[in-house]
Amino acid sequence: MLTLVGFLRYTQKLIYIEIGKKLRQRGIKVGQHASAIKNLTETYLQIINTVSLATVPATIRQRLFTEGIVLAVDGVQPEKGHAILYLLSDA
């Protein structure tokens, strides 16, 4: 749901009220106030900002910018080395 909120806000440029309506149309229960959607968009930004897009493979980066929304976000924190963030988008 967070990826849908991010897509609607930052790609489709919808305002919080419109995002709430879209989510409810899909059967997703969200608060009636714009602050509920604002909190979701802030959480989305926190997740997205945890990784630099420069570390995301070029093929995934291209899909993110041209083909649509992220379907899943999963992170791995290894014992040694760098953390890895996986982003899956619709194709």
Report the range of poorest mean pLDDT among 1-5, 16-20, 30-34, 84-88. 84-88
pTM for the model stands at 0.55
**Top-confidence residue, 88 or 36:** 36
Q: Spell out the residues 6+ positions from residue 87 whose beta carbon is closer than 8 angstroms to its own.
A: 56, 60, 64, 70, 72, 73
Mean pLDDT of the chain: 75
Report the half-sphere exposure of 33 (CA within 13 A, side-chain side). 3
d(CA 64, CA 67): 6
- Assign 91 a pLDDT band (cuts: 50, 70, 90): very low
Query: Bridge partners of 86?
Result: 74
Q: Tell me how crowded residue 73 is: count the other CB atoms within 10 A of its CB.
A: 16
